[in-house]
Amino acid sequence: MSTSQPNAIAPTITSVKGANGVEIANGAKTTETSVTLAGNAQPAQQVEVFDNNLAKGKVAVDPTGNWTFSLTSLSVGLHSVTAKAAGGEVSQPRTFIVVPNK
């Protein structure tokens, strides 16, 4: 017997924006060390956010299926962020590379 919901949907990450509000494209380089993730998931659930497979925290999904989460103090290097639903479904990764601010 499966414990997952039959209508469960994997969360998505729809945007990654720097502190300046500008979208960071998937795979792009940025000097931003703080970003805000936005996405969609099953309404009224929680998603857990991961950066390079390390759990960074959980966020509630609003009744319309939207969520946002801030990542701060990001180190220089590659970041691959994912969102995981309570039922275990995982989003496609969004990647970006933090480079030194010269």
Parse the chain into domains and list their residue ranges. Answer: 12-97
Contact 80, 11 (CB under 8 A): no
Q: Kindly report, residue by residue over 61-80, the tens digit of the pLDDT.
A: 999 999 999 999 999 999 99
Residue 6 in this model has a pLDDT that exceeds 90: no
Average pLDDT, the chain: 93
Mean pLDDT of 89-102: 95
Q: Kindly report, residue by residue over 34-43, the tens digit of the pLDDT.
A: 999 999 999 9
pTM for the model stands at 0.90
DSSP string over 35-102: EEEEEE-STT-EEEEEETTEEEEEEEPPTTSEEEEEE-SPPSEEEEEEEEETTS-BPPPEEEEE----
- Identify the CATH assignment for 12-97 out of 3.40.1280.10, 2.60.40.10, 3.30.1360.120, 1.10.10.10: 2.60.40.10
